[in-house]
Structure 1
Amino acid sequence: MASAEPPLISVVVATHDRAARLRCCLDSLLRNGYPHFEVIVVDNAPSSDDTRQLIGRRYAGQVHYLREPVAGLARAHNAALPAVRGELCAFTDDDTLADPRWLAALAEAFGQDRRIGCVTGLILPAELQTPAQLALERLAGFSKGFAPLRWSLADPPADPLFPFTAGQFGSGANMAFRTSTLRRLGGFDPAMGTGTPARGGDDLLAFLRVLAAGYTLAYQPEALIWHHHRRAPEAVPAQAFGYGAGFGAFVAAALVQEPQLGAALLRRLPKGLGRAAQRASRYSDEVPQTPGLGLLELRGLAYGPVGYLRSRLQARRIGG
């Protein structure tokens, strides 16, 4: 008997003024061995026409181009949702390279259980050539290990902070959803993500909301993405602050978006803050060439809820 046709996967890549990097990403996606996919590029608040020209010149008929004039990663992802045709919707960033089996591995993970609403995958560094790249990998490497994992509220793990340990589930540079699930949840919170005062946390909130809605979240390390860490030394402190800010914004957004989890979140908050302080204290050993990173991350954590509030007010002013 013939096997069922693999599901159509819509790949969404948000980009901002990085046409050269985007070209490498798109070339890797179009070499993907998966037989049934489309690629949508969302040009987020561009300062030039470079990305549109690149798509029209090099990828006409292969890549769909959209433009989202308001800055914000979550807003860019949401702009793609009405155009998505796939049963599955995968997201990666413009500074990544997709492994040839990336989409096939995602599809296989979803095919194992209809209750799975989201799949994340392994992210490894594409290069480690500068001290800054080495520091970023030690500071906030995206790898979540090489063993498949699953999480659900119906079968919680032993971690007392679950399900608010959303950073353990995966990262936005390698995540996929059943399109129907993501649309049912209303997409991503437009007040979050890179390019907004919140600085990040949009992926973490989406993971939490998938679990809160009763779905299972799966981690599939065979779904591999290679990430280009930034090469310049100033990227390291910026990443430390941004990591803390994104997580702080996620906590604030969780209280707003999933109020039924509020009591559980507040009970876990002291232990969570203790774990964050413990993590920050290790930075002096892990990244000794850049002192003060732990304090920067804690400052970011304190700023995160303020950033989220500012971002929500900003979104209301512009009608988002």
Structure 2
Amino acid sequence: MLITVIVCTRNRARQLRNLLESFLALDPPAQAEWEMIIVDNGSTDDTARVIDEFGSHLPLRRVWEPRAGLSNARNAGVAASKGDYICWTDDDVEVHQQWLSAYAQAFHRHPDGTIFGGVVEPVYEESPPHWMVENADKLVDVLAKRDHGLQECRLTTDLHLLPYGANFAVRAEEQRRFLYDPHLGVSPEQKRLGEETVLLVSVASLGGAHYWVPDSRVRHLIPTSRMTFDYIGTYFQSVGETWAYLSTSDGVPIMGQPIPMYGRRFGGVPLWIWRQSVVAEIVYRIKRTLRPSPSRWLDDLINKSRLAGARNFLWRHHRSLTQIKTSN
């Protein structure tokens, strides 16, 4: 068995170095060989030099993908992979010593498995603010926290059980049947989410099994910059933009039911979205002014940000379609 590990990165040489240092301590997988692919997605910092430094210590190779975007980088990694299984992690994590060996053992135990996921544990750069700890249940997606318990087991493919991008594996035969959508995933031009979830839903539709592998663990490093209300707002704007994009493209509804496009519109945006987004903004501002405790208005921040993200995407999408029609 050959396992391919893929990491996509762009201008995060410091974080990548930290990740690769954790790979040096990996237990080698039993009854399996492995390769590592670092997809350099157009970096202009020291990323190439960092990869070269670890080249004599790890079975890695660099794949250059100049087209910016996480989905483009993921697709380049899959195209270059040779493994029977593909393990994914991110450049801002530290892998546990048993991360890869636990997956290898699970692959042997569960030949019917096509999707595997492991623990993602948030680790904070500094002590998180009280409001973040108090509202951790509302911020699970923001922190990419995933933990389904200590027992290895078969899971359903419900959305809330699927693994996060920081720690998952897919059998290569199924992985290669689907591309990651370049219109999803973070890039300099867009801040959309969910490219891996949409792909996993497609893989799950083929009927294979989904297994939880608790001994495969990563520590997701949360910088101080992500422990702010501004970041929470930006994240949920991305959720709203993703929701709107999937609604206009008949995509997999991972962000909820598609946006109803009934009734009158202004600038391509249904009037009900304009109305709800304005009301949500006003409610948020009033509550934040009158109620100092973030627990009293965090839901309002999330709601108004999500609606604003959806509204702004639909507005831009309409303008883009109008420009295309005009040019033709």
Band the TM-score falls in, shorter-chain normalisation: 0.7 to 0.9
Unmatched tracts of structure 2, length 5 or more: 259-282, 322-328
Alignment of 1:294 with 2:302, yes or no, is: yes
For residue 90 of structure 1, report the CA deviation from its aligned partner: 0.7
Number of the residue aligned with 2:86: 89
The verdict on how the C-alpha distance between 1:92 and 1:296 changes in structure 2, with shifts beyond 3 A counting, is farther
Alignment of 1:105 with 2:102, yes or no, is: yes
Number of the residue aligned with 2:28: 34
Q: How large is the RMSD of aligned CA atoms in angstroms?
A: 3.8
Amino acid at match of 2:25: R
For residue 180 of structure 1, report the CA deviation from its aligned partner: 1.4
Number of the residue aligned with 1:273: none
The verdict on how the C-alpha distance between 1:123 and 1:70 changes in structure 2, with shifts beyond 3 A counting, is same
Q: For the Cα contact (< 8 Å) 1:169–1:219, is it kept in 2?
A: no
Number of the residue aligned with 2:196: 203
Which structure's CA Rg is the greater one?
2
Q: Percent identity?
A: 25
How far apart, in 2, do the equivalents of 1:245 and 1:167 lie?
A: 20
The equivalent position to 2:118 in structure 1, one of 118, 121, 127, is: 121
Alignment of 1:68 with 2:42, yes or no, is: no
The equivalent position to 2:181 in structure 1, one of 189, 192, 212, is: 189
Which is worse superposed, 29-38 or 72-81?
29-38
Which is worse superposed, 205-214 or 103-112?
103-112
Q: For the Cα contact (< 8 Å) 2:39–2:73, is it kept in 1?
A: yes
Q: For the Cα contact (< 8 Å) 2:69–2:182, is it kept in 1?
A: yes
For residue 295 of structure 1, report the CA deviation from its aligned partner: 1.8
Q: What TM-score do you get using the length of structure 1 for normalisation?
A: 0.73
Superposed CA deviations along residues 101-153 of structure 1, whole A, max 9, x for unmatched, are 1112212222233221111111001236243697388213422321444345x
How far apart, in 2, do the equivalents of 1:33 and 1:228 lie?
A: 22
Alignment of 1:239 with 2:232, yes or no, is: no
Alignment of 1:145 with 2:142, yes or no, is: no
Amino acid at match of 2:49: Q
How far apart, in 2, do the equivalents of 1:116 and 1:237 lie?
A: 37
Number of the residue aligned with 1:44: 41
Q: For the Cα contact (< 8 Å) 1:42–1:67, is it kept in 2?
A: yes
Amino acid at match of 1:89: I
SS at match of 2:68: coil
Q: For the Cα contact (< 8 Å) 1:44–1:76, is it kept in 2?
A: yes
For residue 10 of structure 1, report the CA deviation from its aligned partner: 1.0
The verdict on how the C-alpha distance between 1:304 and 1:175 changes in structure 2, with shifts beyond 3 A counting, is farther
How far apart, in 2, do the equivalents of 1:93 and 1:134 lie?
A: 27
How far apart, in 2, do the equivalents of 1:15 and 1:269 lie?
A: 32
Amino acid at match of 1:200: L
Q: For the Cα contact (< 8 Å) 1:172–1:203, is it kept in 2?
A: yes
SS at match of 1:85: coil
Number of the residue aligned with 2:6: 12
The verdict on how the C-alpha distance between 1:252 and 1:133 changes in structure 2, with shifts beyond 3 A counting, is farther
- Structure scoring higher RCO (CA < 8 A, sep ≥ 6) equals 1
Superposed CA deviations along residues 232-251 of structure 1, whole A, max 9, x for unmatched, are 22433222323444455456
How far apart, in 2, do the equivalents of 1:289 and 1:130 lie?
A: 22
Q: For the Cα contact (< 8 Å) 1:106–1:223, is it kept in 2?
A: yes
